[in-house]
Amino acid sequence: MHALSAMQLTGTAGDIQVKNARLGGIFNMGGAAVANYVSILERIK
C-alpha cells in the first residue's frame, strides 16, 4: 500500500495515476481489528 501511494506521489503510477496527487493516506487493519495503522504521505515538491 505504501509503494502504491508513493508511486502516485512521484507520478509513476501509469494508467492508475491520479492527476496532481499531493497527499496519500494509507489505513491498515490487522488481526481481529486490534492493530490499526494510519500513514499519511505528502509530496514535498
Can you tell me whether residue 23 is helix, strand or coil? strand
Mean pLDDT on 5-9: 96
What's the whole-model pTM score? 0.79
Task: Count CB-CB contacts under 10 A for residue 24.
Answer: 19
Provide the residue ranges of all domains of the chain, joining segments of one domain with +. 2-42
Residue predicted with more confidence, 34 or 26: 26
| Owner of C-alpha cell 499531493 | 22
In order of 33, 34, 35, 38, the CA distances from 7 in angstroms are 28, 29, 25, 18
pLDDT at residue 3, rounded to an integer: 96
Query: Rounded to whole angstroms, how far apart are CA atoms 45 and 40?
Result: 16
Q: What is the pLDDT of residues 18-33, one digit of tens each?
A: 999 999 999 999 888 7
Can you tell me whether residue 5 is helix, strand or coil? helix
